[in-house]
A and B are shown apart, each in its own frame.
Chain A
Amino acid sequence: MEHLIITHNVKLFTVGLYIFLFALMGLFKVMQFMKKDVENWLIRTRSFIFIALIFTVGLSTNVLCAILFITLLSYLALKEFFSFMPTRTTDRRVLLWAYCAIPIQFYIIYIHWATLFYLFIPLYVFLLISMRMVMVSNTEGFLKSLATIQYGLMTSVYALGYLALILIIPFKYNPVGGSVGLLLFILLVTVSNDFMQMACGKAFGKHKIIPKVSPNKTWEGFIGGVIGSTLLTILIAPYLTPLTLTQSAFAGFVLAIAGFFGDVTMSAVKRDMGIKDTSSLIPGHGGVLDRFDSLIFTAPLFFHFFAYINTIVITKGG
């Protein structure tokens, strides 16, 4: 069994994260005691502590458990997507095929066959789903249903699969944090970017950036998030990643913009479907797709950025 190497820095950051979350919780408790309406924030922070706990347990043992944990996350996301999307009753078996792609993809990651992972969902499952859909022989709304299923697979399974791919990056490429350090880094940057965009938007927001999709998003929030994320990345990158100063500044800048687009893309999908949240799984946040929508854009980008600067090799097959 391949063990995950948890370095000293990763442990320090995890402890730091919990101290931060509990301090935040305490702050909101005090504000509530002073008769301020922060009930929603309390629920959100509590959920965050739960998410952090689940991630800590899921990612602290060995590679297999960690990949299974991300498999579950991916399954919950895809189930949410198919549940709020209208699906044709004739496509029930096609949906089952789509679900079957999840364990296969994560098995491919588990055996370190990166080249096949890159192609599995975008090419082979893409073709297989089309094939299975033709066998249903229902041409009414064919393309729409096909596109819906493919979109769900690309976002919830392929893009989130990069979280597992980051986990199997060999330790030698990141001696300070290991693969868990890289994963923690991308999670911290993405989530804090969401938070900073919202906080800056609430504090200085005036000019709407994309009102038809997400009326609460402002230019001030976006720019504040980009600056904040770049600074945060410069600050934490030396302890979790091997990135140099220029590289981490660039990563922070790009990830902040990508995170923003991940967020508004899911907003657009939700708006199209006429729903506010993708499910009610996480109290105060909505569903898995509500919470991890930015990761859909940031995780693949960060992986390939890291692979580019390190010219890493993790593939087993050709």
Chain B
Amino acid sequence: MFANLVRYLFFLIFVKPFIYLVLGVNVIGAEYLQKISKEPGVIITNHNSHVDILLLMSLFSCGQILKIHPVAAADYFCNTKLKAFIFKTLLGIIPLDRKVKRMHKEDIFKDINESLKRGETIIIFPEGTRGEDNTIKSFKSGIGHIAQMNPDVPVYPMYINGPDRILPKTDFLWVPFICDVYATEPVKYDNTSPKEFAEKLHSIVLNLRDEHKKKEEL
């Protein structure tokens, strides 16, 4: 309850005014974003900056934000108790251990599966880490496994352009720029292997990027 109130106010007072007034967002495919409120699922995007997560969550109403949980690397965001508390309260993150080996996948993704069963939306960056120079690395197969375990949950592929200029991985200084968010038709798990599904999502995100590049060259 306390955490929800804090997160609600954090986004209402700080994050949203910052994202919309100081930075600025341009959404292409807003109708797919509205779909998420009716049909919660998994949002996946490219990842170049810490701004990505604030930007994505700000696209939704403050009430909806309480039901959105970004999946974050446990070794980076939860390596101290204080950090874990801050990020869980403010952003509602679900920590994911990036280093586990030989563990049952139901156990690794336990929190994610439970969250999806409750009808919440989660955000995953399938590249596994932030990229540099606006590149999109290949997707890890984890997203495929999650989709396989939750075959009825839609996956919403998106492409974000801009945060790498605002706050690149290599810098700590923020510079304001307007961002673009491209959303498209959601997909569901299609009985291929998790790896192939991850590759399919990868190609959808690459297509969205091409759409953006084409727009720039027009």
Contacts and interface: CB of A to CB of B under 8 A. Distances in A.
Interface of A: 76, 79-80, 82-84, 87, 89, 92-93, 95-96, 99, 274-276, 279-281
B171 A83 contact: no
B178 interface: yes
A281 B24 contact: yes
Interface in B163-185: 165, 168, 171, 173, 175-178
Given A79-B24, A96-B175, A279-B178, 12 more contacts: A79-B176, A79-B177, A82-B176, A83-B24, A83-B162, A87-B165, A89-B133, A89-B165, A274-B216, A274-B218, A275-B216, A280-B26
Contacts of B216: 274-275
A96 B173 CA distance: 9
B217 interface: yes
A79 B177 CA distance: 6
Given A83-B162, A274-B216, A274-B217, A92 B171 contact: yes
Nearest to A80: B178
Contacts of A275: 215-216, 218
A82 B177 contact: yes
Given A89-B165, A89-B168, A279-B26, A83 B177 contact: yes
A104 to B, nearest CB: 17
Nearest to A92: B175
A84 B180 CA distance: 11
Contact of A99 (B162, B165, B176, B218): B176
B31 to A, nearest CB: 15
B170 to A, nearest CB: 9
A82 B166 CA distance: 11
A230 B23 CA distance: 39
Nearest to A76: B24
Contacts of A87: 165
Nearest to B179: A83
A274 B165 CA distance: 20
A279 B218 contact: no
Contact of B173 (A84, A92, A281): A92
Nearest to B164: A89
Contacts of B23: 79
A92 B49 CA distance: 15
A242 B41 CA distance: 64
Nearest to B26: A280
Residue of A83, A95, A274, A280 most packed against chain B (CB within 10 A): A83
| Nearest 5 A/B pairs, CB to CB | A83-B178, A83-B177, A92-B175, A280-B26, A274-B218
Nearest to A287: B178
Contacts of A79: 23-24, 176-178
Interface string B100-143: 00000000000000000000000000000000010000000000
Nearest to A83: B178
A85 to B, nearest CB: 10
Contacts of A83: 24, 162, 177-178
21 contacts: A76-B24, A79-B23, A79-B176, A79-B177, A79-B178, A80-B178, A82-B176, A82-B177, A83-B177, A84-B178, A87-B165, A89-B165, A89-B168, A92-B168, A93-B173, A95-B175, A96-B173, A99-B176, A274-B217, A275-B216, A279-B26
Contacts of B168: 89, 92
Nearest to B168: A89
A99 B173 CA distance: 13
Nearest to A279: B178
A281 B177 CA distance: 13
Contacts of B24: 76, 79-80, 83, 279, 281
Contacts of A82: 176-177
A274 to B, nearest CB: 5
A53 B172 CA distance: 38
A269 to B, nearest CB: 15
Contacts of B177: 79, 82-83
A145 B209 CA distance: 25
Contacts of B133: 89
Contacts of A84: 178
Nearest to B216: A274
Nearest to A79: B176
A99 B174 CA distance: 12
B28 to A, nearest CB: 9
Contacts of A279: 24, 26, 178
B124 to A, nearest CB: 27
B182 to A, nearest CB: 13
Interface string B2-34: 000000000000000000000110100000000
A79 B20 CA distance: 12
Contacts of B176: 79, 82, 99
Contacts of B173: 92-93, 96
